[in-house]
Amino acid sequence: MGEQNNSNGPEGEENFENTGKYLQGKYAEIKSALGGGDFVNAFQHTAEIEKFKLDLVAKKESREGKKVKIFGRGLEYTVYDIGAGRVRARRNAIEEQDDVLCSWLIEDAEKRKRIAEAVNVLAEVSMNIVKTLLRRGKIQGELLGNPIFEEGGADYTRDEATSFSSDYIEGHTLEEGKGYIEKYIALVHTLWSSGVCDSTFKFMENSGITKDGDVIQRDIGEFAFTKGKVLSLIQNQAWLNQNFRFMPQGELKEYAKKRFCEEFTPEKLEKFWPKPDGDGNDLNTQREEWEVLFQRYEEIWG
For the stretch 245-271, pLDDT in tens is: 888 889 999 999 999 999 999 999 999
How many helices (H) and strands (E) would you count in the chain? Answer: 12, 10
Q: Is position 202 within any domain?
A: yes
Would you say 216 and 187 are in contact if contact means Cβ atoms under 8 Å apart? yes
Burial 147-184 (b: 16+ CB within 10 A, else e): bebeeeebebbbbbbebbbbebbeebeeeebbebbebb
- What is the predicted pLDDT for the residue at 17? 53
Angle at which helices 109-135 and 281-301 cross, to 10°: 160
Q: Which of 62, 92, 111 is the last residue of a domain?
A: 62
- Please indicate, yes or no, whether residues 27 and 159 belong to a single structural domain of this protein: no
Q: Is position 120 within any domain?
A: no
Q: Is position 109 within any domain?
A: no
Q: Which amino acid is at 175?
A: E
- Please indicate, yes or no, whether residues 57 and 135 belong to a single structural domain of this protein: no
- Please indicate, yes or no, whether residues 173 and 289 belong to a single structural domain of this protein: yes
- What is the predicted pLDDT for the residue at 280? 67
Would you say 216 and 191 are in contact if contact means Cβ atoms under 8 Å apart? no
- Please indicate, yes or no, whether residues 201 and 54 belong to a single structural domain of this protein: no
Which residues constitute the domain of residue 37?
1-62
Ranges of residues in the chain whose predicted pLDDT is under 50: 1-8, 10-16
DSSP designation for 149 = E
CA 268 to centroid of chain Cα atoms: 24
Q: Which of 15, 30, 62 is the last residue of a domain?
A: 62
- What is the predicted pLDDT for the residue at 244? 83
Q: Which of 47, 62, 77 is the last residue of a domain?
A: 62
- What is the predicted pLDDT for the residue at 28? 78
Q: Is position 248 within any domain?
A: yes
Of 148, 166, 164, 165, give the one whose Cα is nearest residue 156. 148
74-117: pLDDT as tens digits: 899 999 999 999 999 999 999 999 988 988 889 899 999 999 99
How open is the CA angle 192-197-201, to the nearest 5 degrees? 125
Count of domains forming the chain: 2
Q: For the full predicted model, state whether its pTM sits above 0.85.
A: no
- What is the predicted pLDDT for the residue at 11? 46
**How would you class 64 by CB atoms within 10 Å of its CB: exposed for 0-12, middle for 13-18, buried for 19 or more?**
exposed
